[in-house]
């Protein structure tokens, strides 16, 4: 765990302690379970976003994809009466295809990630609304999917299964990002794509893979969100979720220029965001201020981090000149 | 020969600049130790010394970026304990840095007068473009520029951009122009132009401090050479005593034989390794290039900047696509769709721009070295840090990379050591064809010799080495054959018995050699 992550963890604990003192309901099992469920849902989304951000890209269509794929999933199993495992696989595949398309447009046709995914944001939301004729997708009365509901909205030993899913995904993705060859390539591309290319890395494929990973994890979270809300009005479902994901990554120490950030960081970023949401509810802050609180905390967090970085860079430079001159004198 | 020797200093002119007993220490190290020198009006001083000898510290003191601990700086008769940036500029000291500070999106005139643009009358403070250009034109003429003031800087060659920098210096009425490694990225003909500009400055009574690793250029242009070693004045050479060997001797305190060693091939060249037929590059899509590089030889590729050498290297390494033509590697046809294809076939490139394309400054030495060959340093797709470290340790020892450890960030290394890391990542694999684009640019003499030695060792091991260089001494000293490019085509190939600066130059401008 890096110092940055540690700092974030301490912040989370301090905020948690303060909230618990003011309102002890914070620590009630029901509250913790609800919050960790939300952490699970948003965490899966944010990890996907993190893989794109690490390459120096951005994925703005996440919220719309959650709406579109969620709508389709409920439609597949509730209206079209498809077997849910088949629908599940189809939705994940659709997520992968969306990621593949974005990656292809960005790497092969050299479009900017911001532009491609902004268009995605508009298109998928529009398609989702058209698909339901601006209505609501939901289950009919008495429709039950016990296994699916257990896996998505159920609990094991009191812990929401969505949270457990996040932990499993996080462990796997931690290995991928921090220990695998692919992860090293991602960092190299994020740091300096040209130099990575000159080292013989097929940078295009790696970047596409990052978007596919993002698409798959977004599709997965779309299913979780659908089973959590159980009814979707595509005009508003998932709105701003891309911003939650980006915010979690930025809070977690990711640089939007790419090449920087850790998986633990984005997890902690998600936790802090959900903790803040919870804080707004528990401390009786008007919920209309919800976004303002989040924005304020992110701004302060990034500012502190930035100043700390400047301070460290200055110190490192001083040391380097010292060493450089010392080395030269020694030679 | 010490500077305080009155027989050398004696002159009717009062010095424009004089440093006396300047000492600058950083915690734990003495960067400058009682250094003294003088610069008289209209005098061209060649300042040489290995990297780390104290040149940068000296420049920082003259630029007012840092203050000396002790000592006096006298500019134009006024003594200072240390300069500020404003005082430095105000007293007419101008810098032209190795890395140019121009706005590529603006035109020449706008760059020269940036922040000091002539304005039109009126409350809107609009820039008077006509006057701007009119003021820039005479300055450009003084530096011998062959381009107009409204040319965008992005359209200029490096040498031309340097002329803009010098014109900028003239525009602030500079009395001392300090050129830091101005020729390190220039080809021969352009270098001549720049040296011409220096002579023109001198004729106008402007002093010049010319810092360069290219000693033959210092030899040509300097009135006096000041040699720094370990923060001290190693000696000064009056015009009559300036020669290559003397400078090197003072710089490193011993004579250098590595280059001569590098020049000797241990064995006759073998079969053709890489054969290029009718390749056309983006720079000259209508000019086909044919070239053979043989196993065991160093083929020097000379030519002017813009002659298409770097573009050729990019095509050979699969970065750019060729417009038609074909490659053969050891007699087999080769299709290069990407750099990954080239690497898979043992064709490696040490690119021209080390920091942008050669290495990742934020990664460690070990991570840089393993990057092109990561699957070989992994088990079940997971990177093995110990395998990485082992490869890097071996390369670090073999190439003599000077760093605290292989986990050191490459960004903190000196230019020479960074270049060795670039070489190391390829040497750790099995090169068949090694392309080096300006491999010793901005690297000090000691490291240069080591890199020549490595290139020769590669050739002796049967690797085909293609070295692109604008340094004439280097091309002639290191190559077994020299191919010269002119406007996108190979204008001729010289064998060892016909090596001469004149022949290379003639071919570079498209004429027949003697």
In degrees and rounded to multiples of 5, residue B167 shows phi and psi of -60, -35
| Closest Cβ opposite residue B381 in set A181, A188, A324 | A181
With CB atoms and an 8 Å threshold, state whether B52 touches A327: yes
User: Is the minimum CB–CB distance between A321 and chain B shorter than 8 Å?
Assistant: yes
Q: What is d(CA B391, CA A263) in angstroms, rounded to the nearest whole number? A: 28
- From residue B105, give the alpha-carbon distance in Å to each of A112, A306, B125, B152, B169: 21, 29, 21, 7, 20
Q: Is the distance from CB of B44 to CB of B210 less than 8 angstroms?
A: yes
Predicted local distance difference test score (pLDDT) of residue B304: 75
With CB atoms and an 8 Å threshold, state whether A198 touches B362: no
Minimal C-alpha gap between B194 and chain A (Å)? 30
Q: Is residue B20 classed as helix, strand or coil in its secondary structure? A: strand
The half-sphere exposure of A131 on its side-chain side, counting CA atoms within 13 A, is 22
With CB atoms and an 8 Å threshold, state whether B382 touches A180: yes
Q: Is residue A1 classed as helix, strand or coil in its secondary structure? A: coil
B53, B229, B363: which to substitute to probe chain A, counting the most A Cβ within 10 Å?
A: B363
- Mean pLDDT for A272-296 is 88
Q: Is the distance from CB of B452 to CB of B480 less than 8 angstroms?
A: no
Q: What is d(CA A233, CA A225) in angstroms, rounded to the nearest whole number? A: 12
Q: What angle do CA B168, B174, B179 make, to 5 degrees?
A: 70
Q: Counting every residue, how long is chain B?
A: 514
What lies within 8 Å, CB to CB, of B424 at 6+ separation is B365, B369, B392, B395, B396, B398, B399, B401
Which residue do the tokens 């903190």 mark? B412
Interface subset of A 233-262, CB within 8 angstroms of B = 259
Residue from A9, A12, A72, A70 nearest A45 by CA: A70
Q: What is the dihedral of CA B314, B318, B320, B324, to 10 degrees?
A: 110
With CB atoms and an 8 Å threshold, state whether B340 touches A202: yes
Which residues on B lie below 8 Å from A179 (Cβ)? Answer: 382-383
Q: What is d(CA B48, CA B217) in angstroms, rounded to the nearest whole number? A: 11
Burial profile B363-388: b = 16 or more Cβ within 10 angstroms, e = fewer? bbbbbbbbbbbbeebbeeebbbeebb
Q: What is d(CA A59, CA A159) in angstroms, rounded to the nearest whole number? A: 30
Q: Which two tokens stand for residue B351?
A: 């690119």
Nearest CA in chain B to A326: B29
With CB atoms and an 8 Å threshold, state whether B26 touches A325: yes
Q: What is d(CA B135, CA B117) in angstroms, rounded to the nearest whole number? A: 10
Q: Is the distance from CB of B236 to CB of B247 less than 8 angstroms?
A: no
DSSP state of B12: S
Q: What is d(CA B295, CA B266) in angstroms, rounded to the nearest whole number? A: 12
Predicted local distance difference test score (pLDDT) of residue B259: 47
Q: Is residue B105 classed as helix, strand or coil in its secondary structure? A: coil
Q: What pLDDT, in 10s, does the model give residues B178-188?
A: 988 777 666 66
| Closest Cβ opposite residue A197 in set B29, B319, B344 | B319
Nearest CA in chain A to B409: A320
Q: What is d(CA A86, CA A211) in angstroms, rounded to the nearest whole number? A: 23
User: Is the minimum CB–CB distance between B429 and chain A shorter than 8 Å?
Assistant: no
**Backbone angle region of A261, left / alpha / beta, with phi > 0 → left and psi within -120 to 50 → alpha:** left
Q: Is the distance from CB of B188 to CB of B508 less than 8 angstroms?
A: yes
DSSP structure string for B219-233: HHH-SEEEEEETTEE
| Closest Cβ opposite residue A180 in set B317, B381, B425 | B381
Which residues on B lie below 8 Å from A328 (Cβ)? Answer: 29, 51-53, 230
With CB atoms and an 8 Å threshold, state whether B360 touches A327: no
Nearest CA in chain A to B313: A198
Which residues on B lie below 8 Å from A255 (Cβ)? Answer: none
Residue B436 CB-density burial (10 A; 0-12 exposed, 13-18 middle, 19+ buried): buried
Q: Which two tokens stand for residue A13?
A: 């604990």
Interface subset of B 297-356, CB within 8 angstroms of A = 317, 319, 338-340, 342-344, 349, 351, 356
Q: Which of A77-81, A183-187, A202-206, B121-125 has the lowest mean pLDDT?
A: B121-125
Which residues on B lie below 8 Å from A329 (Cβ)? Answer: 29-31, 52, 230-231
B24, B26, B405: which to substitute to probe chain A, counting the most A Cβ within 10 Å?
A: B26
User: Is the minimum CB–CB distance between A313 and chain B shorter than 8 Å?
Assistant: no
Residue from B284, B345, B338 nearest B315 by CA: B338
With CB atoms and an 8 Å threshold, state whether A184 touches B383: yes
Residue from A78, A124, A286 nearest A218 by CA: A124
In degrees and rounded to multiples of 5, residue B238 shows phi and psi of -70, 165
Q: What is d(CA A311, CA B459) in angstroms, rounded to the nearest whole number? A: 47
User: Is the minimum CB–CB distance between B376 and chain A shorter than 8 Å?
Assistant: no
Q: What is d(CA B54, CA B70) in angstroms, rounded to the nearest whole number? A: 15
With CB atoms and an 8 Å threshold, state whether A182 touches B361: no
Predicted local distance difference test score (pLDDT) of residue B283: 78
Q: What is d(CA B498, CA B500) in angstroms, rounded to the nearest whole number? A: 6
| Closest Cβ opposite residue B357 in set A182, A198, A200 | A198
In chain B, what are the helix, strand and coil shares in percent, each to the nearest 5?
Answer: 35, 25, 40
Predicted local distance difference test score (pLDDT) of residue A321: 61
The half-sphere exposure of A183 on its side-chain side, counting CA atoms within 13 A, is 19
Q: Is the distance from CB of B462 to CB of B265 less than 8 angstroms?
A: no
DSSP state of B409: B
Predicted local distance difference test score (pLDDT) of residue B264: 62
| Closest Cβ opposite residue A200 in set B27, B357, B372 | B372
Nearest CA in chain A to B426: A199
Q: Which two tokens stand for residue B180?
A: 């830091």
With CB atoms and an 8 Å threshold, state whether B356 touches A329: no
Minimal C-alpha gap between A90 and chain B (Å)? 28
Predicted local distance difference test score (pLDDT) of residue B52: 66
User: Is the minimum CB–CB distance between A56 and chain B shorter than 8 Å?
Assistant: no
- From residue B205, give the alpha-carbon distance in Å to each of B39, B162, B168, B240: 12, 20, 17, 21
Q: Is the distance from CB of B17 to CB of B39 less than 8 angstroms?
A: yes
Predicted local distance difference test score (pLDDT) of residue B187: 65
Q: What is d(CA B158, CA B160) in angstroms, rounded to the nearest whole number? A: 5
Task: Note every long-range contact of B136-140, with CB atoms under 8 Å and residues 24 or more positions apart, other chains counting.
Answer: B136/B108, B136/B109, B136/B112, B136/B167, B136/B171, B139/B112, B139/B167, B139/B170, B139/B171, B140/B108, B140/B164, B140/B167
Residue B459 CB-density burial (10 A; 0-12 exposed, 13-18 middle, 19+ buried): buried
With CB atoms and an 8 Å threshold, state whether B358 touches A195: yes
User: Is the minimum CB–CB distance between A205 and chain B shorter than 8 Å?
Assistant: no
Q: Which two tokens stand for residue A151?
A: 């896996």
With CB atoms and an 8 Å threshold, state whether A259 touches B29: no
Domains and their CATH numbers in chain B: 6-92+175-255 (3.40.50.300), 104-172 (no CATH), 259-346+431-508 (3.40.50.300), 363-429 (no CATH)
Q: What is d(CA B378, CA B265) in angstroms, rounded to the nearest whole number? A: 37
The residues with which B481 forms a beta bridge, in sequence order, are: B299, B495
Nearest CA in chain A to B26: A322
Nearest CA in chain B to A204: B338
With CB atoms and an 8 Å threshold, state whether A199 touches B371: yes
What lies within 8 Å, CB to CB, of A288 at 6+ separation is none
Q: What is d(CA A98, CA A81) in angstroms, rounded to the nearest whole number? A: 24
In chain A, what are the helix, strand and coil shares in percent, each to the nearest 5?
Answer: 80, 5, 20
Which secondary structure element, helix H or strand E, spans residue B55, and what is its range?
Answer: helix B55-62
Q: Counting every residue, how long is chain A?
A: 331
Nearest CA in chain A to B24: A325
Band of pLDDT at residue A177, cut at 50, 70 and 90:
very high
| Closest Cβ opposite residue B28 in set A194, A197, A322 | A322
B337, B362, B424: which to substitute to probe chain A, counting the most A Cβ within 10 Å?
A: B362
Q: Is the distance from CB of B396 to CB of B424 less than 8 angstroms?
A: yes
Cβ pairs A/B, distance under 8 A: 104
Q: What pLDDT, in 10s, does the model give residues B41-65?
A: 999 999 988 766 788 888 889 988 8
**pLDDT tens for the 514 residues of chain B, in order:** 444 444 444 344 688 999 999 998 876 677 888 899 999 999 999 998 876 678 888 888 998 888 899 999 999 888 888 888 888 888 889 888 776 778 888 889 988 888 888 888 888 888 888 888 888 888 888 887 888 888 898 888 777 888 888 888 888 888 999 988 777 666 666 778 888 888 888 988 899 999 887 788 888 889 999 998 878 888 899 988 888 778 877 876 654 444 444 456 656 778 889 999 988 888 788 889 999 999 999 999 998 777 888 889 999 999 988 888 888 899 899 888 899 999 999 999 999 888 889 999 999 999 999 999 999 999 988 999 999 999 999 999 988 888 889 999 998 888 888 999 999 999 999 899 999 999 987 777 778 888 898 999 999 999 999 999 887 778 888 999 999 998 888 999 998 888 887 788 788 877 787 7
What lies within 8 Å, CB to CB, of A89 at 6+ separation is none
The residues with which B127 forms a beta bridge, in sequence order, are: B119
Interface subset of A 83-112, CB within 8 angstroms of B = none
| Closest Cβ opposite residue B362 in set A182, A259, A325 | A259
Higher-pLDDT residue of A232 and B7 is: A232
Nearest CA in chain B to A175: B382
Query: Complex ipTM, two decimals?
Result: 0.84
Predicted local distance difference test score (pLDDT) of residue B3: 43
Q: Which two tokens stand for residue A166?
A: 């996040």
Q: What is d(CA A234, CA A232) in angstroms, rounded to the nearest whole number? A: 6
Q: Which of A172-181, A317-326, B238-247 has the lowest mean pLDDT?
A: A317-326
Q: What is d(CA B262, CA B266) in angstroms, rounded to the nearest whole number? A: 10
| Closest Cβ opposite residue B383 in set A181, A198, A202 | A181
CATH fold of A3-285, please?
ABC transporter involved in vitamin B12 uptake, BtuC (1.10.3470)
What lies within 8 Å, CB to CB, of A205 at 6+ separation is none
Predicted local distance difference test score (pLDDT) of residue B8: 41
Q: What angle do CA B507, B451, B184 make, to 5 degrees?
A: 55
Predicted local distance difference test score (pLDDT) of residue A102: 96
User: Is the minimum CB–CB distance between B384 and chain A shorter than 8 Å?
Assistant: no
Nearest CA in chain A to B27: A322
User: Is the minimum CB–CB distance between B89 and chain A shorter than 8 Å?
Assistant: no
| Closest Cβ opposite residue A198 in set B53, B351, B383 | B351
Q: What is the dihedral of CA A130, A136, A137, A143, to 10 degrees?
A: -160
Beta-sheet strands, E only, within A2-123:
none
The alpha carbon of residue B173 and the mean position of all alpha carbons in its chain are separated, in whole angstroms, by 27
With CB atoms and an 8 Å threshold, state whether B231 touches A329: yes
């Amino acid at each position: 765990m890096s110092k940055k992550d540690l700092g974030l963890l301490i912040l989370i604990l301090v905020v948690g302690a303060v909230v618990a003192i003011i309102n002890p309901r914070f620590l009630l099992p029901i509250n913790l379970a609800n919050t960790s469920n939300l952490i699970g849902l948003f965490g899966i989304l944010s990890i996907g976003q993190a893989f794109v951000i690490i390459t120096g890209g951005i994925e703005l269509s996440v919220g719309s994809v959650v709406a579109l794929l969620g709508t389709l999933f409920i439609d597949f199993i509730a209206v079209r009466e498809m077997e849910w495992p088949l629908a599940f696989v189809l939705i994940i595949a659709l997520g992968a295809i969306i990621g593949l398309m974005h990656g292809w447009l960005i790497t092969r046709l050299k479009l900017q990630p911001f532009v491609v995914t902004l268009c995605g944001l508009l298109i998928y939301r529009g398609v989702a609304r058209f698909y339901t004729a601006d209505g609501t997708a939901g289950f009919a009365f008495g429709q039950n999917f016990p296994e699916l509901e257990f896996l998505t909205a159920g609990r094991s030993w009191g812990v929401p299964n969505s949270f457990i899913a996040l932990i499993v995904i996080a462990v796997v993705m931690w290995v991928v990002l921090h220990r695998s060859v692919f992860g090293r390539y991602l960092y190299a591309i994020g740091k300096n794509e040209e130099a990575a290319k000159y080292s013989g890395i097929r940078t295009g494929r790696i970047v596409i893979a990052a978007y596919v990973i993002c698409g798959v994890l977004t599709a997965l979270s779309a299913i979780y969100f659908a089973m959590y809300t159980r009814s979707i009005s595509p005009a508003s479902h998932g709105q701003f979720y891309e911003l939650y994901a980006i915010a979690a990554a930025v809070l977690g120490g990711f640089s939007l220029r790419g090449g920087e950030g850790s998986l633990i960081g984005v997890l902690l970023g998600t936790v802090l965001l959900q903790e803040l949401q919870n804080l707004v509810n528990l401390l009786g802050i008007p919920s209309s201020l919800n976004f303002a609180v989040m924005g304020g905390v992110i701004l302060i967090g990034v500012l502190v981090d930035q100043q700390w970085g400047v301070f460290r860079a200055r110190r490192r430079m001083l040391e380097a000149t010292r060493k450089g001159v010392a080395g030269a004198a020694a030679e | 020969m010490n500077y305080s020797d009155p027989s050398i200093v004696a002159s009717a002119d009062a010095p424009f600049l004089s440093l006396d007993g300047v000492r600058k220490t950083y915690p734990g190290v003495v960067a400058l130790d009682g250094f003294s020198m003088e610069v008289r009006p209209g005098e061209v001083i060649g300042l040489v010394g290995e990297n780390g000898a104290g040149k940068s510290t000296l420049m920082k003191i003259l630029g007012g970026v840092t203050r000396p601990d002790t000592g006096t700086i006298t500019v134009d008769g006024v003594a200072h304990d240390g300069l500020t940036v404003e005082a430095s500029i105000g007293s007419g000291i101008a810098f032209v840095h190795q890395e140019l500070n121009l706005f590529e999106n603006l035109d020449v005139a706008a760059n020269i007068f940036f922040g000091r643009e002539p304005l039109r009358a009126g409350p809107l403070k609009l820039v008077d473009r006509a006057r701007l250009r009119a003021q820039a034109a005479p300055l450009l003429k003084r530096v011998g520029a062959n381009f107009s003031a409204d040319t965008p800087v992005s359209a200029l060659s490096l040498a031309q951009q340097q002329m803009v920098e010098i014109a900028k210096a003239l525009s602030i009425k500079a009395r001392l122009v300090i050129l830091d490694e101005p020729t390190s990225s220039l080809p021969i003909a352009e270098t001549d132009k720049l040296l011409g500009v220096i002579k023109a400055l001198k004729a106008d009574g402007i002093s010049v401090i010319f810092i360069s690793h290219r000693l033959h250029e210092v030899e040509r242009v300097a009135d006096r050479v000041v040699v720094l070693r370990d923060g001290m004045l190693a000696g000064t050479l009056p015009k009559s005593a300036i020669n290559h060997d003397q400078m090197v001797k003072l710089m490193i305190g011993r004579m250098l034989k590595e280059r001569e060693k590098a020049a000797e091939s241990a064995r006759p060249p073998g079969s053709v390794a890489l054969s290029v037929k009718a390749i056309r590059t983006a720079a000259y899509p209508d000019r086909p290039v044919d070239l053979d590089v043989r196993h065991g030889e160093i083929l020097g590729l000379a030519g002017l900047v813009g002659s298409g050498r770097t573009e050729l290297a990019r095509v050979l390494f699969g970065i750019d696509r060729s417009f038609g033509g074909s490659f053969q590697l050891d007699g087999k046809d080769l299709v290069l769709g990407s750099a990954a294809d080239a690497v898979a076939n043992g064709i490696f490139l040490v690119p021209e721009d080390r920091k942008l394309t050669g290495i990742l400054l934020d990664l460690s030495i070990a991570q840089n070295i393993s990057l092109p060959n990561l699957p070989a340093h992994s088990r079940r797709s997971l990177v093995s840090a110990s395998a990485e470290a082992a490869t890097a340790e071996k390369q670090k020892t073999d190439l003599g990379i000077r760093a605290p450890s292989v986990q050191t960030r490459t960004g903190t290394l000196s230019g020479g050591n960074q270049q060795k890391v670039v070489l190391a990542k390829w040497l750790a694999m099995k090169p068949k064809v090694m392309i080096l684009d300006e491999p010793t640019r901005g690297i000090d003499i000691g490291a240069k010799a080591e890199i020549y030695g490595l290139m020769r060792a590669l050739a002796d091991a049967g690797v085909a080495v293609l070295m692109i260089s604008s340094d004439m001494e280097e091309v002639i000293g290191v190559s077994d054959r020299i191919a010269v490019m002119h406007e996108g085509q190979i204008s001729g190939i010289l064998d060892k018995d016909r090596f001469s600066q004149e022949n290379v130059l003639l071919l570079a401008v498209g004429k027949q050699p003697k």
